Structure 1
């Protein structure tokens, strides 16, 4: 058997393994529901479930509806944090946003008032993410968003990357709690600019559209501490990537991060559109999409799929 033929057969075997895992995880879709508090997200197909794995040698394996595009939502938080740490440095960012996990829901306002005098506990909850978004450098909202989008294009290798105006508008028009978070932080000097401008930027950030393969490539870059093996460029400084990976472990899966660390045990970030980005250190990146969510806002079948993947390939970093 030729080396080329052997490699083809191994790749087919990997694809079949992924399909088997998807079929097993699909059983859990029925127990979740699609997010509807942002009306545009309610249009997603609840039955969708897909998985992509991106390797350092440029190969990727995919199974399911991997070409389906979905919005980043909270997955954008870790990418924006990386850009802002590059822009501003650690001291500036962490004077305004903390580093501690929280057991509260991602959109909770409680800790702002009772524990931190307006300073969000970490950049992965909504309050912290809004504060981080306000730190993106640029002379206008459009310029700041385009800088983030260009960063995303470099990470995915897709120069045509864009965002869903429909989702951005839908999210902006229903962002009443996020407005409250911003005004509370403005009262304490964490945010200093116009709240509506920040919300415009934040909702566009969350509405950037991606697919599983592109998300797995970003996960790969985080898994290699910011190095892109495809373009041979250190896109994210190593220290910044390590900080982002740490936040993904401690805070990346909302208030289910501890349970996820035990059951899966990799740096990961989820979003209420149903996406989950994973970074298996020094091994590969993972992209999962399944819009049926559990009560914490995580993809219910996607989490099960990652549990199965972690068990089969011994992925846990612990």
Structure 2
């Protein structure tokens, strides 16, 4: 999110300049900046899903390594637990995580980023928000009351945080959101030298706070609503169940390891059985000798 914020504000001057002829157009600049920002957020969401998939894949491979150690480091274990290749497994995880993630993250991003506060675009999005948004409200675990109902924040924007009259009227609380006020001041403070008018300052303040609001929902609502923890646990339990269900397969794997002379397997054999059961080379030579003796005694040979 910090990288996203930095990249977004780097583009500010270019976007503002393109919308300043003959003079700065606050609404056009706001829309243009948000349009660019929404594209970057879409890329961010894909990057998060990819990173989560990588971490889950690493956890799954650690589990597979442990299961492999239970079967004497046999190279036959991993292919039977993870179909095809690691790349295919990663792609499957990433696709599933993206579906879960975007179900909640995309509507929130559209509601907060697509249009400026009080614009027709934003008001239409508010009306079109479905049940998923209400689920977000149920999962929000942060402390700020302004974020407990997403539709209200989308409607009022940062005024729901810093306008004491609106907070009293809509939320029934007095004062402003002091724990967020410092972040809001920094948003403008970091770019105060580049801000040329109160109109530009208003756009910077509004967009900056909407980015912070999206981060708030991302951390304290979207991950929980998407069920990431449950999904990851289910995937890992699925590997364990698959390992248990392949008991007959592992019997065959154990036999193959025995025939191939796996030293880790032989190390588990009691010493009094090793001389009788583990010397396959001697057994094979004795078998061949027995066949040769039988042939030498047959009537045809005599």
The TM-score with structure 1 as length reference comes to 0.24
The structure number with the bigger radius of gyration is 2
- Structure having the higher helix fraction is 2
Q: Which has the higher strand share?
A: 1
Higher relative CO (Cα under 8 Å, sequence separation at least 6) belongs to 1
TM-score between the two structures when normalised by the length of structure 2: 0.25
